Amino acid sequence: MLMDWHELNPVSQKEIDRNNMIYDNYQYNRNPFIDHPEYVYLIWGDGTPEVSFSSTPNTAILYGTPTLGNVGVNGVEIIATANYLSKTQTFDINVLEGGSGGDWVETFMFMSETSSSYTTRAWTGDNDTEWSATNARTDQEIDSRAICLKDAGDTCMISQTLAGSVSSVTFEHQQKFSGSDGEITLFVNNQQIGETIAVSDAANSSTFSNITVFADFTKKLVSNGATSIAINNLGWTNLSNPPQSPVFGDISHTPESPLHDEEVTFLAVVTDADGTIKQVLLSYGSSAETLLQSTSMQHLSGNSYSVSLQLPLAELVCMVSGKISPKSFAKII
């Protein structure tokens, strides 16, 4: 019954104003259920907030965790009313199903407590992902809850090892309290990605694209300790089916024992599980260490490729390689 009442009676502007007045003038603490009505679902519900809106003047906020029932295009309508006049705006939200490649995000909404103390933190976040942070507090926000790293050395946050691969990472960041020259660095599998990001007292978002980690991975954000830095909405795109290396089958040439200056036809069978072969090259030279020349092989049909060359050398070393996977070679002598 109380859950039904909560859904039928959303937070009003009067309640928001009263919450702000009590915080600013009297108790100096806030009613978390006014700021975040979705906490009701996390505590007394099934842990999955329904997708719904809260609003203040000039701002409408969509909050909640989409479920499988929300996958697809969802029409949303906002109606603003003032002085007996109303204005309607509609837009679509496209919810993607995770797990087969797509966007994931850590919202920090599932951190267990709101605390101004800096300490080591650990929590199970969105999508049941385990996170930890050192020298961190949990009472700061960038639009919504954020993790805040202390202005001290050895401050960072890191994910558990995640399955699949990662192609891009994005996150929001903002300097909190005093200080300057704060910076944050992204690491994937302990390898730095891109350039270090300068942080200011304005909320900003940074995106790292073209990441090519096709294996299980961890994500780590490291502060330089110059200022306290809040982080929110840490998102990433991972592909459960990264590009596969070509596989070389039969490779042959005719005639089998070519004479000097005789034309030789090379035939190679190359297969690729995900169909990403763009080119097959034949590299040749006087030894395996001096394959200084190459030519593209023509696609015949199916998985067969061929090229004919007039070879001036009595003894020649050749290698066939798929352009997508230059480490995969088949050698013809």
Measured in whole angstroms, the distance separating CA 183 from the mean position of its chain's CA atoms is 20
- Position 221 pLDDT exceeds 90: yes
**Cβ pair 315, 331 in contact under 8 A:** no
The two domains 102-238 and 247-332 share their CATH topology (first three levels equal) = no
- Position 259 pLDDT exceeds 80: no
Measured in whole angstroms, the distance separating CA 82 from the mean position of its chain's CA atoms is 41
Question: What three-state secondary structure class fits 3?
Answer: helix
The domain 247-332 is classified under which CATH number: 1.10.8.50, 2.60.40.1930, 1.10.10.10, 3.20.20.70? 2.60.40.1930
Q: How would residue 129 be classed by pLDDT, with cut points 50, 70 and 90?
A: very high
Q: Give the Cα separation of 149 and 136 in Å (integer).
A: 5
Query: Average of pLDDT values for 60-67?
Result: 60
Is pTM beyond 0.85 here?
no
- Strand 304-310, strand 317-322: pairing: unpaired
* pLDDT, mean over the chain: 79
Q: Give the Cα separation of 112 and 140 in Å (integer).
A: 14
Tens digits of per-residue pLDDT, 144-174? 899 999 999 889 999 999 987 888 999 999 9
Query: Average of pLDDT values for 176-193?
Result: 94
CA angle 197, 198, 201 (to 5 degrees): 130
Among 9-23, 214-228, 248-262, 282-296, name the most confident range: 214-228
How many angstroms separate the Cα of 228 from the Cα of each of 5, 140, 176? 40, 10, 5
Q: How would residue 314 be classed by pLDDT, with cut points 50, 70 and 90?
A: very low
What class, spelled out in words, does domain 102-238 have in CATH? mainly beta
- Position 176 pLDDT exceeds 80: yes
- Position 78 pLDDT exceeds 80: no
Four-residue CA torsion sign, 288, 289, 295, 299: positive
**Measuring CA to CA, which residue among 236, 245, 248, 179 is closest to residue 211?**
236
Tens digits of per-residue pLDDT, 47-61? 555 555 555 555 565
Q: Give the Cα separation of 150 and 147 in Å (integer).
A: 10
Where in the chain are the domains? 2-95, 102-238, 247-332
Query: Average of pLDDT values for 83-102?
Result: 62
